[in-house]
Structures are given as structure tokens and as C-alpha cells.
Chain A
Amino acid sequence: LAKTTQPISMDSYEGQEVNITCSHNNIATNDYITWYQQFPSQGPRFIIQGYKTKVTNEVASLFIPADRKSSTLSLPRVSLSDTAVYYCLVGDYGGSQGNLIFGKGTKLSVKP
């Protein structure tokens, strides 16, 4: 299973762009990278998923370099409501089943 490493916490201010990097040095060829967001007292929520290069949706962008040993979740112009824990997961595309392992995530605090 590909292990991921993320910063424990990050601070930002409203209106700034936030980039959270995840390291996954032993990522396998078939692995995809998925990010989840969790607010206090709620279950995690899917944000974005990608395999290589760049993926963008209405919430965030995901940048994956050619070697795929890391990935960066980019949140444009954060607001107070983006304060949450963000998890990076790596798993294979064949239906991950038991290898969807969550680490401790990155606790993002957005200040006014």
C-alpha cells in the first residue's frame, strides 16, 4: 500500500490560495490520488481525484508531477468555511476496497 505523508497543520487567511502537498514515494502504476475534506462532527467528503498532470473542478485543483511521487491540492481564495481537515489517499483503480487508508490529514485553519 502506498503510504502518504502530509503536513499536520497549515494556517491561511481569507482570500489566499492554499496549497497542501502530499508525498507518496511508493505510488504504484495503477494508483489514483484522491483528496477528501472533513468538517468537525461530519464524515469526510470527496473533493477531487486524479492520476497525472492537472485536474480541476469547481472546488479545487490537483497537480500531479510526472513522477507522481507527490501531489498538491490547491484551494483558490479560501474562506473561513474551508477550515477543515484534508486527507490525501492513494489506491489502485481496480476498486480499492481495503486499501483506502486515511492518514491523520492536514488541519487547515483559515483566519479572517
Chain B
Amino acid sequence: NAGVTQTPKFQVLKTGQSMTLQCAQDMNHNSMYWYRQDPGMGLRLIYYSASEGTTDKGEVPNGYNVSRLNKREFSLRLESAAPSQTSVYFCASGAYDGTTNEKLFFGSGTQLSVL
């Protein structure tokens, strides 16, 4: 059972280049999330998808787009990368049993550097 898988693990881009971060979960969770983590800043929510076919903005959506391809996959795209997007990106999926709050399961992260 792989849980949440993110690819790639590391990426270096030049300013203006585009790329897509991939995320897949095999736990049959409905909701999925993309966070970014900068040094000393904790995690900030970029976009989330409450269910297949829906996506919504989080705290810091500017410069990003997402696609919920199916229930398993949720991708994050940088159309024109900027140095300010240098960060570690985490994907997560959420388990909700209908009675308590969601429990998030995170991938191992993608370290992105934009030069």
C-alpha cells in the first residue's frame, strides 16, 4: 500500500518554465490537497479538491492551476515559474469517516527550485 505518491522528488526550473507536479493516492479518499512549505512558514494551502470533479482555491493559489484527473490523481501546474515559487510542495489526501474531522495523509514532498 503506497499511500500518497508524489513525482518528481526534486526539480530545478528556470524562471518562466512550466511544469506539472503529479500526485496519486491509493486509499480511495475523496479529498485531496496541495500545500507548499517555505522555511519557517509552516504549510500553506494552495488548492484542494473535495471530491472528483471539483477544485477550490486555498490560501495561496496565485500562479498555480490544478486538475483532479480522477479520484486517485490530483496534479499541480506552474504555468510560468517564478523564484518566489521555490518551495517544498506536499500533496495530501483526506480520510473522513463521517463523524470526526478529516485526517490527512501526506506524500513525501517535491523540492522545487526556480532559478
Name which residue of chain A comes closest to B95, CB basis.
A46
Q: Verify if A70 is at the interface (C-beta below 8 Å from B).
A: no
Which residues of A sit under 8 angstroms from B44, Cβ to Cβ? 102
Bound form: Cα–Cα A71–B45 in Å: 23
Q: Verify if A78 is at the interface (C-beta below 8 Å from B).
A: no
Bound form: Cα–Cα A86–B61 in Å: 25
Decide: B45 and A45 in contact? CB cutoff 8 A.
no
Q: Verify if A54 is at the interface (C-beta below 8 Å from B).
A: no
Contact size range, A = 20 to 34
Interface residue count on the B side (C-beta < 8 Å):
32
Q: How far is the CB of B2 from chain A (nearest CB, A)?
A: 13
Q: Verify if B13 is at the interface (C-beta below 8 Å from A).
A: no
Bound form: Cα–Cα A25–B109 in Å: 32
Q: Verify if A49 is at the interface (C-beta below 8 Å from B).
A: yes
Bound form: Cα–Cα A45–B27 in Å: 15
Decide: B109 and A44 in contact? CB cutoff 8 A.
no
Binary interface encoding of chain A residues 37-59 relative to chain B, with 1 for a CB under 8 A from any of its CBs, else 0 = 00001111110010100000000
Q: Verify if A87 is at the interface (C-beta below 8 Å from B).
A: yes
Binary interface encoding of chain B residues 89-112 relative to chain A, with 1 for a CB under 8 A from any of its CBs, else 0 = 010101010011111111111000
> Which B residues fall within an 8 A CB radius of A?
4, 30-31, 33, 35, 40-45, 48, 50, 56-59, 90, 92, 94, 96, 99-109
